Amino acid sequence: MIRLEAVSFRYEEMKMLFDASFPKASITAVIGPSGGGKSTLLNLIAGFEQPLSGRVLIAGEDVTELPPDRRPVSMIFQDNNVFAHLDLRTNVALGISPGARLDRAQEKRVEQALAEVGLSALAHRKPGEVSGGERQRVAVARALVRDRPVLLLDEPFAALGPAQRRDMLDLLRAMQQARGLTVLMVTHQPEDAEYAASHTAYLENGRVAALRPTAELFAAADIPGLAAYLGDWRSKPL
């Protein structure tokens, strides 16, 4: 479980205050208007940003003062996940140890992660020689070799077409189940949340305005701003 206890943060005039608990061992989607604080929320959990006040707890442990690499967290971004001059295997290995030589067991973990995301046959290629979806699989494999219980994804599949996105969501669900991961996934696609997330959080103006089982959240009529944000998405599939 991830808990933010009255976590405050500000960028200039934009003040944020997060107070929420995200369920353990499941996928929670994070939706809401641009500038609402979705990326900041993930950065506070990962430790890339420090709260002005409040506490961040992961599995009951206060991680507020811990640097990112000491938190039980991996993060995947929309882009900038791969190094163009390194082959896919090396990109994945960076998740374990930047620069250092891997031992036998670590090499095996890299091979397993490559196999799990379906990239074994392409492992010697450079990122420029594979598709966008395959590049995001590299980012997923790199997160897998780190073997952390919390996985944060910030609009990870936004640049992919619908079929590739669906494949990646299937992969994410399989990984979540196999490893019991606690996953937070920022997305602008309500159908991605519906497809993959047991719960969905709606963020607006630097706050978690609602966090409910996904179907309940999308059916809710009592959350100001949500209907305007979602619009008539069911009649206009993307």
Residue list 17-56, contact with Mg ion (CB under 5 A): 38-39
Residue list 170-209, contact with Mg ion (CB under 5 A): none
Cβ distance 159 to 139 under 8 Å? no
Looking at the Cβ atoms of 96 and 193, the one nearer to Mg ion is 193
Instruction: Compute the least distance from the CB of residue 155 to ligand ADP, in Å.
Output: 8
Say which residues have a Cβ less than 8 Å from residue 70's Cβ, sequence separation at least 6. 47, 63
Using rule CB under 6 A, residue 156 touches ligand ADP: no
Secondary structure of residue 60 in the 3-state scheme:
coil
What is d(CA 175, CA 230) in angstroms, rounded to the nearest whole number? 28
37, interface contact from Mg ion, ligand ADP, none, CB < 5-8 Å by kind: ligand ADP
Looking at the Cβ atoms of 6 and 14, the one nearer to ligand ADP is 14
Looking at the Cβ atoms of 49 and 134, the one nearer to ligand ADP is 49
Decide the pairing of beta strands 27-31 and 14-22.
unpaired
Secondary structure of residue 187 in the 3-state scheme:
coil
Using rule CB under 6 A, residue 51 touches ligand ADP: no
Instruction: Choose which of 6, 14, 115, 174 interacts with ligand ADP (CB under 6 A).
Output: 14
Instruction: Compute the least distance from the CB of residue 186 to ligand ADP, in Å.
Output: 7
Best CA proximity match to 66, nearest among 50, 52, 53: 50
The torsion angles phi and psi of 208, rounded to 5 degrees, stand at -85, 100
Instruction: Compute the least distance from the CB of residue 10 to ligand ADP, in Å.
Output: 8
11, interface contact from Mg ion, ligand ADP, none, CB < 5-8 Å by kind: ligand ADP
Residue 182 corresponds to which tokens in the numbers above? 């606690």
Instruction: Compute the least distance from the CB of residue 22 to ligand ADP, in Å.
Output: 16
What is d(CA 212, CA 78) in angstroms, rounded to the nearest whole number? 25
Residues that bind ligand ADP in the complex, under the rule CB under 6 A: 11-12, 14, 34-40
